Amino acid sequence: MCGIVGYLGPQQAAPIIVNGLKRLEYRGYDSAGVCIVAEDTLRIGKQAGKVANLERDVNPAAIPGTLGIGHTRWATHGLPNDVNAHPHTNADGTIAMVHNGIIENYLTIKKKLLNAGYTFRSETDTEVLVVFIGMLYQQLGDLELAVRTALHEVEGTFGIVVVSTHEPDTMIAARRGSPLVLGIGQQEFIIASDASAIISHTRQVIYLHDNEMAVVHRNGSFTTKTIGNEKTHNAIQEIEFELDAIEKGGFEHFMLKEIYEQPNTFRDGFRGRLQPSEGNVRLGGLSSVADKLRTAKRIIITACGTSWHAGLVGEYLLEQFARIPVEVEYASEFRYRNPIIDADDIVIAISQSGETADTLAAIREAKMKGATVIGMVNVVGSTIARETDAGVYLHAGPEIGVASTKAFTSQLCVLTQFALYVGRMRGLPAAEGRQIAEALEAIPDRMHRILEQADGIREIALAYANATNFLYLGRGYNFPVALEGALKLKEISYIHAEGYPAAEMKHGPIALIDANMPVVFIATRDEIYDKVLSNIEEVRARNGRVIAIANEGDEHIAAVANHVIAIPETHPALTPILASIPLQLLAYYIAVERGCNVDMPRNLAKSVTVE
């Protein structure tokens, strides 16, 4: 969850590293630091808080040197303060390291080092590892060997970059569970947690695999190898997105930009795949598992957070269109309960980053038990994309805002196509397939109509920005939308919010409803519309304030709700796609009114790469 940048080349390292950290700050913003190898010393600057604090108080750009590393932290071990900020150094200050992940056996290693007379300045597991590397260097006299030897002793996850005054023309990186990308330029290298910190310098990258390391040298040579010292031959790939994809483009926040990008990103999700005239979909990434999908007895979807909510919608889609039983599992719980899986099962892993630690653990458990595993991820070259048997990319482009918006609707786009793809193989009539495909094709234009109402949604948000609790209610396909709407509000505004199936309101949450409780209903016209109307009346009878997401022209809802946000009609199965957008905007405008940093909400980070 932390951001790592390392640079070796002919240019001054500090400005490149700091600019890279700004690109990666969505991965963690508890503290930041840089280390530059300058002549025979390590010059380090660290500061609690955001990268801007580091620039203001340390001025790393004034530190000369062409080799260095930097880090922006999401705290795991130790408070987010100056001392615990990375980089950390060994005992004599000749080796520095930045680290993403958790060293699970750090206390065992620390005890060994304490017994050997070493002392520690921080509370971090990272300092333990770099001190250990330093001890091994004294014994072995070779930095790469010391790193490899130390990592053989480590239990847990890591993405590390190491530099040293002993070898000022070398930079070493290694990963297990935490992503690292090696950018290859003209006689220069940039190592980072993801490609957004690299793209302004080079588009040529190598994605390191688990238990793999890269050793780069100032003369332009490099090697990739396993931690066990076996050479690997990774293909150099090209970054696919453009630099403007990670700029705000005139918007106040990345989150708002990404909300407004959804008509385009959704269209990108079905471009070249959807076949409306045939009522079908072409998903080339699934051709190798098509026969298994045709005969599968069960599908298990595993994911975390927003991706889990998308999976719940996927359950409804697959059971309706493909008539196959579906279970949706929290990835964080999946492998710890010894799930019953066999070779006929299909496991789908959904993750924006493709690096979510819990989801990775779940797919590895599923593969070990013989299941066919499919990935639905956004980031090309990510670990989940590489480790699954087949998959479909979202094509949402980089998502910088920590609260997921466009990735969620892109996940629904891909899940809808997947359900149509499997459904047509398992007997879904072509006529019904055409209805779904045509409705899917029309979604981007309908999204535009919702975004045109942003000013009205903002007015509703201003009326409720001081609320302390929200309730979100929906039924059928719209129940997962209620969960997602509540999550968005919690994430960025820090208002307590809960999502429920509307009928469950009477089984507890109704006790909370009074004149101070805003209740958001997703109340679109479908087969259970009348039931939702009854639920609204129950809230009104208790003086609750009703905000309704309803179809355009719905006079019944207008008569009973305090506020209505209208969305166009679509195929009922696609309603979650449209209904989610006003809830994103509602959460965004409430958070802005409350003075919250919507792109970097407290305690959160974009990619959860540690358990």
- What residues are labeled active site? 2, 606
Q: What phi-psi label fits residue 21: left (phi over 0), alpha (psi between -120 and 50 degrees) or beta?
A: alpha
φ, ψ at 111 (rounded to 5°): -60, -40
Question: What residues form DSSP beta bridges with 334?
Answer: none
Instruction: Give 280-292 as a DSSP string.
Output: EE--GGGGGGHHH
Amino acid letter at 399?
E
DSSP per residue, 439-467: HHHHHHHHHHHHHTTHHHHHHHHHHHTT-
Coil, helix or strand at residue 350: strand
Mind giving me the DSSP string for 498-542? EEEEGGGGGGTGGGG-STT-EEEEE--SSTTHHHHHHHHHHHHTT
C-alpha span between 600 and 22 (Å, rounded): 12
CA dihedral 508, 512, 513, 516 (to 10 degrees): -160
- 8 A C-beta contact, residue 162 and residue 133: yes
Which run of H or E residues covers position 578?
Answer: helix 575-593
Rounded to whole angstroms, the Cα distance separating 509 from 503 reads 10
Cβ-contact 213, 172 below 8 angstroms: yes
Whole-number Å distance between alpha carbons of 307 and 405 = 11
Instruction: Give the number of other Cβ atoms within 10 Å of residue 165's Cβ.
Output: 17
Per-residue DSSP letter, 194: S
Calpha distance 588→452 (Å, rounded): 15
As given in the structure block, the two tokens for residue 419 are 């359900």
- Quote the CA–CA distance of 539 and 518 in Å, as a whole number: 10
Secondary structure (DSSP) of 79-94:
-SSTTTSSPEE-TTS-
In 3D space, the residue among 291, 311, 306 whose CA is nearest the CA of residue 389 turns out to be: 291
- Per the structure block, which two tokens stand in for 511? 């006790």
Tokens in use for 105?
């056996």
Q: Are 310 and 415 in contact (CB under 8 A)?
A: yes
User: Which strand (E) or helix (H) includes residue 317?
Assistant: helix 305-321
Structure tokens at 203: 């588009």
Structure tokens at 200: 């302004």
Tokens 């630099």 sit at which residue? Answer: 243
Handedness of CA 465, 467, 469, 473 (dihedral sign): negative
**Are 85 and 75 spatial neighbours (Cβ–Cβ below 8 Å)?**
no
